[in-house]
Every structure is written in C-alpha cells, then in structure tokens.
Structure 1
C-alpha cells in the first residue's frame, strides 16, 4: 500500500467534508509526468487509476502496455501535430487553449468517431509564460468551441501564479464555468489542492506530494 496515496486521499476527504462537499466528489489525478516507474508502481498497485501526463510521446511509452482500466489525462501543452495521437490515446485533454487546436481536435474526433473529454485551459493569472485563454476571452472561446467546432467542453483548468493566494484565482475560474454552464473544474496541485476543493474543484492534480520530487532528464 502506498502511504503517500493514503495520506492524500485522507486530506481530500477532509477537505471535501470541510467544504460541505459530497464524499468522493473530487477526483485525484496523479501527476506521473517525468517520474521514474519505481515511484509510480506502488501508487498504481495501491489502486490509483487516474494519471496526468505532460507529453503525448512520454505518456504513450509509459502507459501503452499498461493502459487497461486507467484514465489518462493530458495536462501539458498540446501541439497540433500531436493532436491525432492525443485523441487516440487520452481519455481527457485538459489543455485546449486556442482556436487552431480546437479546429484540429474537431477534425480528429470526426475521423476517429470518439472524443476525449475536453477542458479549456484558462491563463487565470494572465502570465506571459503560461499557456491558456485569457479570462476576458474565455466566454467567447467557449462559444467558438461549441458553435463553430461542435466540441463538448466538460471542464476548465487553471494554474494560479506561484506565490500568490490561489483562492481568488480558483473563484474566478469557478465563475467563468458557472456563467458558461461548464460543470468540471481541474484546479489545485500539491501545495494548494485543499484550497481548490473549498473553491469547487472537481479534480486535483497532485504530483510531488504523491511521488516525491520530479526527476528531470
């Protein structure tokens, strides 16, 4: 049994209860990107089924032989030339952030005849180094995804600025979702997922608190 997984699950349960949320309403996405397999294996063996990856190729190499029974989410930037592989491989794509990508995803979904669940990434802190749609443009972008490309948008995703109080940013994302009829919110990571749950997160992306520090190659 992974003790780290049990601790994170307990913290999620406490945060759900504190926020008056239904038990089990928040999905834990284990951020396995760049982690060595010996860190991931105990978590997988302990029953964790949902994983987040940053790169299409890395995810395919790691999870291809172990794909059965898992939910895989792309949480890193998606280049249009990788859209075909991403649509084929992932259950969820959380980083739809521009109209060109919406068009290509729509074409690939039509080709395959199945669609991954889609989240729009919002650059909630309007930081130049981060991907995502500006908050002021989110309503129009969501409308374009739905009306121009017939895409079903399940959720929104964001990463607040490092070092800032994340609560107002999470609340801002929740407001964008509410006025656009979007049900799911992917927000909160190792350092702030309990705050995210209080602000309405339906999934949290936890890496270092679960696996330890990442190993960059």
Structure 2
C-alpha cells in the first residue's frame, strides 16, 4: 500500500468508529508516530496530507525536524515520549504539543524555559492509567492537583494522555481516562495507538497516536 492508501484506510477506520460513537471524525486528530522513521518515509506521509507527527526522543527530533519544518511549516510536532526536566529547554523550542507531562517538577522546568523562549507549547497531563511502575505518568490520585497547576501556568492544557497496559483489553483504561477527564472538566484525550485506535475513538479520543499502521514496515 502507498502512504496515501494507508492514511485513507486509517481515516476510514476512525470515521467508522466515530459514527458508532455518534461523533464527528473531524474531532479526532491523527498523529503519525515518526520515531525511528526516515526522513523519506516522513516526507511521503506529508505529501499524503499528514500534518501532525510525534517523536519520543528530543535528540532524534532535533536531528530530523528543523530541516523538515523549514520545508513544511504547516507541521505540528508532538512530544509523546517520557521527558526529562533537563531536556525542557530543547522540548519547548522543538515541540508544539507535549503529551508526557507527569510531575510538578517537569511543569516548573517547562514553564521556566517557555518564558525564556517566549513560546508556550500545549501540554497533556499523562496519567499512569494502569498503575505500572515501569511507565511514566501521574498517579491517578494526583491528577487533579497537576491539572490545576497547569491551569495556573501559562502553558495551555491540551487534555489527558495515557497508554494502557499491554496485552490486555484497552477499552476499560480508555473509559477510565475519559471519566477522569469529565470529572476534571477536561476535553482533550490523547489515547489509542496502531493496535487499538478504533476503540479509543469510540470512547472519546480526540488524538490518536499511530505509527506502524501508517508507515510501511
């Protein structure tokens, strides 16, 4: 399949899932996860119409995206991986949206660097939805306090993000994240990847992060 055909297939799947949930498919943003992908593969998707891309590592994003964005200024770049506070300065300059805010110390670092760079990327509060020690994310019981801290900061609150446990049915985790969002009056939900994005859309995702299903393996 060509990049355009893969993209259309995913858009069709999103539209079907949105119809089941009585939602508009246009309310769901598709983020192409481009970590480890070549510039050539990324440019193929850009030509097909993708405008949002996600990277996990600051160093890799620095190597690829300044030149790409110079040629394609419409691109929005998302940080979807765990972010260390000592990378806050680079992240603020590189990314339009950060999906992995999970602690107050990182928020403080991002605010400091945002003020220095005069650039305020939007942030998602990442929730450790499966209470997994090896994963990043704010503990569920601390989500409210971190949301309020973001709202008191100059950084726009984009919503909540989560990655469910592997090898189990993801829908209960998506439903829990959606419930947390409702409780805290949050509308954005970054959830769903290549293996489960239709389920995420049915349960309220406003951004899905799709990698292998979009790129030719």
* Cα separation, 2, equivalents of 1:44 and 1:62: 14
- In the other structure, the counterpart of 1:32 is 34
- In the other structure, the counterpart of 2:182 is 178
Count of residue pairs brought into register by the alignment: 212
Q: Which of 134, 141, 149 is 1:136 aligned to? A: 141
After TM superposition, give the deviation of residue 150 of structure 1 in Å. 5.0
- The 5-angstrom pairing of residues 149-168 of structure 1 reads 149=153, 151-168=155-172
Structure 1 stretches of 4+ with a deviation exceeding 4 A read: none
- In the other structure, the counterpart of 2:193 is 189
Q: Which runs of 5+ in 1 are unaligned?
A: none
Q: Which runs of 5+ in 2 are unaligned?
A: none
Q: Which of 48, 61, 66 is 2:68 aligned to? A: 66
- In the other structure, the counterpart of 1:82 is 87
* TM-score of the two chains, using structure 1 as the length reference: 0.93
- SS of 2:169's equivalent in the other structure is coil
Q: Cα RMSD (Å) of the superposition?
A: 1.4
After TM superposition, give the deviation of residue 182 of structure 1 in Å. 1.4
- SS of 2:25's equivalent in the other structure is coil
- In the other structure, the counterpart of 1:125 is 130
Contact 2:121 2:156 in 1 (8 A): no
* 2:100 corresponds to 1:95: yes
* TM-score of the two chains, using structure 2 as the length reference: 0.93
* 2:214 corresponds to 1:210: yes
* 2:119 corresponds to 1:114: yes
